């Protein structure tokens, strides 16, 4: 099968031509496997798609058009009303996000104590110091004042989680900057819960080049140069 190890980007599938050579053609959205309700996704056109297969297949068919360029995965789940993000909320967003990233690393570290696998040994050593210090702030819904105070007092504990998340996303390619599609796995899963995340990342892109460089990312989270 010439298609067995032939890779096509999202929205395309491998097709064997008459000469037996593999080619990538657009996925027919109607031929996508059926999905459950919880697998539905919302596109940036504010339309609900039955899954990412249908969304990216549609995007592929619109290739070369303005609609195709503008169509991306907005968030997981069916489209719904997302309230606008106020100036006050977007200012508070980095506080919650930093705390959330730190808590994720704490959970990974705790899981790795029993069965290693999620974090590398180097990552575990870095997180260990944060973990040992982190019993002050019990996980939960903390006030903005408490998070701000803790960030100022224990600044060093927040630096690594912010860097770690950037490097988790910076994969295609690894070039110290994040594209829209590299940000998508984080943004798409958080939009329904954190309605400010889209505006936050838009404002992170200080030079408006559609990329978030490591320096811009750190600046957004209040990490000093």
Confidence band of 136 (pLDDT split at 50, 70, 90): low
Q: Which pLDDT belongs to residue 116? A: 64
Is the domain covering 12-76 a CATH 3.30.60.30 domain?
Answer: yes
Q: Which residue shows structure tokens 């309230």?
A: 83
pLDDT digits (tens, 9 = 90+) for 70-129: 999 999 999 999 899 999 999 999 998 998 998 888 888 888 877 667 888 888 888 887
pLDDT digits (tens, 9 = 90+) for 45-82: 999 999 999 999 999 999 999 999 999 999 999 999 98
pTM over 0.85: no
Backbone angles phi, psi at 199, to 5 degrees: -65, -40
| Domain segments of the chain as ranges | 12-76, 87-221
Look at residues 45, 38, 86, 74 and name the one whose alpha carbon lies nearest to residue 62.
45
Q: Which pLDDT belongs to residue 218? A: 95
What does DSSP say about strands 12-16 and 22-26: parallel, antiparallel, or unpaired? antiparallel
Residue 215 has pLDDT above 90, yes or no: yes
The class (CATH top level) of 87-221 is: mainly alpha
Upstream peptide bond of 173 is cis (omega within 30 degrees of 0): yes
pLDDT digits (tens, 9 = 90+) for 161-207: 999 999 999 988 899 999 988 998 888 888 888 899 999 999 999 99
In which region does residue 20 sit, left (phi positive, over 0), alpha (psi from -120 to 50) or beta (all else)? left
pLDDT digits (tens, 9 = 90+) for 9-22: 889 999 988 888 99
Across the range 130-159, mean pLDDT stands at 78
């Amino acid at each position: 099968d010439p298609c067995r190890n032939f890779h096509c980007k999202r929205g395309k599938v491998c097709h064997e031509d008459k000469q037996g050579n593999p080619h990538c053609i657009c996925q027919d959205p109607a031929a996508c496997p059926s999905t459950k309700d919880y697998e539905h996704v919302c596109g940036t056109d504010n339309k609900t798609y039955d899954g990412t297969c249908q969304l990216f297949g549609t995007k592929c068919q619109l290739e070369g058009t303005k609609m195709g360029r503008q169509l991306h995965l907005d968030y997981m789940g069916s489209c719904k009303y997302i309230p606008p993000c106020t100036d006050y909320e977007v200012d508070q967003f980095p506080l919650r996000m930093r705390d959330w990233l730190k808590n994720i690393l704490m959970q990974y570290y705790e899981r790795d104590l029993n069965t290693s696998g999620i974090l590398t040994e180097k990552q575990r050593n870095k997180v260990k110091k944060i973990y040992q210090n982190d019993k002050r702030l019990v996980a939960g819904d903390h006030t903005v004042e408490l998070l701000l105070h803790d960030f100022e007092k224990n600044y060093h504990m927040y630096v690594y989680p912010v860097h770690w998340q950037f490097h988790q996303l910076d994969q295609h390619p690894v070039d110290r900057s994040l594209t829209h599609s590299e940000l998508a796995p984080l943004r798409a899963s958080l939009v329904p819960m954190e309605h400010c995340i889209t505006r936050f990342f838009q404002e992170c892109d200080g030079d408006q080049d559609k990329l978030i460089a490591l320096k811009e990312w750190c600046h957004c989270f209040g990490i000093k140069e």
